[in-house]
Amino acid sequence: MARWFRKPVAAPDVAPESPNTGVHMSLVQMRTAMNSLPMGVVILSADASSKWNNRAIYGLFPAGSSDFSTFMARVDDLLGEALRGRTAETTIEFGEPMVRTLELTSLSLIDGGAAVIVDDITKRVLTDRVRTDFVANISHELRTPIGAVSLMAENLVAETKDTDVARMAGVILSEETRLNNTIGDLLELARIEFDGLSNMTDVEVMKIVEEAIARLRSAALAKSVMIAIEDFPDVVVAGDRAQLVSAVGNLLDNAIKFSPNGSIVKVAIETADDEVRIVVADNGPGISEEHLSRIFERFYRVDDARSRSTGGTGLGLAIVRHIALLHGGDVGVASTLGEGSRFALKLPLRRLGQVGDSNT
Ligand code: ADP
């Protein structure tokens, strides 16, 4: 059974002719070169009267297989579209349980014809799946025993009230929470690294911020911190919604953690040129100049003891930066000691008419 997922791509700019003047290749030489390519190539003439497949195409499926006919029908669709100037990149999966994944890229040729390039990406897809399974397994293998230890420590605290044993069990509990948070953040980083931007959609920035605020509401309430929403223009970015919520959530989490009780954390969405900035500002202790450039490093903390006491892992800002860079953006900070900090998650603004619009 074949499944396909279609991702529109921009029509490639026509590359200028290479300055190979004086170099003439015969049709036979061209054909030999095409036939020695590891990827499949199918070429259709401008008037759609003749179609040519290179040798790799015939190596993709056993002769006479029904998958081959399904595959060629899909290639014909893409060639027809490319003749009309609509090129695309498509992934097709064949066969069960041994799934093979092929990536098809269609091109409009300079002479008016069309071509489809076929790449067998089965190995790459399998490797990605193994990595994802690895992250899921690690999560289970580490969290299950930690959960058991934590349960025992809780029981000990309850059974040995106000004794040294209860106090020691309390320390075990709080260290377990820290370990659990660190594992959670490490796994989140690994997941972002493995998945990249495989779940790209158009996301309303307002929704990202609202979801992040909803997640942090109880933490803010516990410190009587008010989250004040300032400018909220109606803008859209292209990105992974869950990752972006997590990035804004990390900035808000820090702002609440480092703010004095009863203070205000301000959140605003600003736009400038082609950029959206989600700004989170607090009245916390601020960060001195010497630390500012390092706080986005993994496990870097300005005040180790304070970070530990607030349950910090030292990974939050590294996650924010990773997500920002993955989305073609960045994260910046301005801070004054004793006055507070202002973090800005910067993302490229999504303009109507860009690649990926349903009407393009
Ligand atoms: P943590 O889990 O320790 O908060 P982060 O990576 O989120 O780790 O932040 C790294 C360090 O940057 C923190 O330990 C803290 O010293 C500093 N920091 C981050 N956000 C703020 C903030 N809003 N105000 C003051 N310091 C901050």
**pLDDT of residue 195 exceeding 80:** no
Q: Tell which atom from ligand 1 comes closest to the C-alpha of 302.
A: 16
Model confidence band, residue 24 (pLDDT cutoffs 50, 70, 90): confident
C-alpha of residue 336 to centroid of ligand 1, in Å: 14
Tokens at 324, concatenated: 């920002």
Helix boundaries (H) for the chain:
27-35, 55-58, 66-83, 122-159, 164-195, 205-222, 241-258, 289-292, 304-309, 316-326
pLDDT confidence band for 138 (50 / 70 / 90):
confident
Specify the ligand 1 atom closest to the Cα of 313: 2
Write the pLDDT tens digit of every residue in 286-314.
Answer: 999 999 989 999 999 888 776 677 678 89
pLDDT digits (tens, 9 = 90+) for 319-339: 999 999 999 999 999 999 999
Comparing 75 with 12, the larger pLDDT belongs to: 75
Which two structure tokens, joined as six digits, stand for 143? Answer: 């969290």
The segment with the largest mean pLDDT, out of 54-63, 219-228, 351-360, is 219-228
Q: Quick one: which atom of ligand 1 is closest to the CA of 258?
A: 24
Contact 212, 342 (CB under 8 A): no
pLDDT over threshold 70, residue 12:
no
Give 310 Cα–ligand 1 centroid separation in angstroms: 10
Rounded CA separation 91/116 (Å):
12
Q: Region 161-173: what's the mean pLDDT?
A: 92
Least confident of 126-135, 216-225, 314-323: 126-135
Measured in Å, residue 188 CA sits from the centre of ligand 1 at 17
Long-range contact pairs involving 49-56 (C-beta distance under 8 Å, separation at least 24): 51/79, 56/118
pLDDT of residue 356: 43
Measuring from each residue's beta carbon to the nearest atom of ligand 1, which residues come in under 6 Å?
A: 250, 254-255, 258, 282, 284-285, 287, 295, 300-303, 307, 312-318, 341
- Position 61 pLDDT exceeds 60: yes
**For residue 5, which phi and psi values (nearest 5 degrees)?**
-125, 125
The predicted pLDDT at position 17 comes to 53
Q: Which residues contact 326 (CB under 8 A, 6 or more apart)?
A: 192, 196, 197, 240, 243
Q: Above pLDDT 70, what percent of the chain?
A: 89
- Name the closest-CA residue to atom 21, ligand 1: 254
Percent of the chain with pLDDT over 90: 62
Residue among 248, 266, 291, 317 to mutate when testing ligand 1 (max atoms within 8 A of CB): 317
At 317, give phi and psi (nearest 5°): -70, -30
Question: How far, in Å, from the CA of 301 to the mean position of ligand 1?
Answer: 6
Mean residue pLDDT of the chain comes to: 87
pLDDT grade, residue 26 (50/70/90)?
A: confident
Residue type, 196: G
What number does the ligand 1 atom closest to the CA of 315 have? 6
Atom of ligand 1 nearest to the CA of 298: 6
Of 265, 291, 307, the residue with max ligand 1 atoms within 8 A of its CB, to mutate for a pocket test, comes to 307
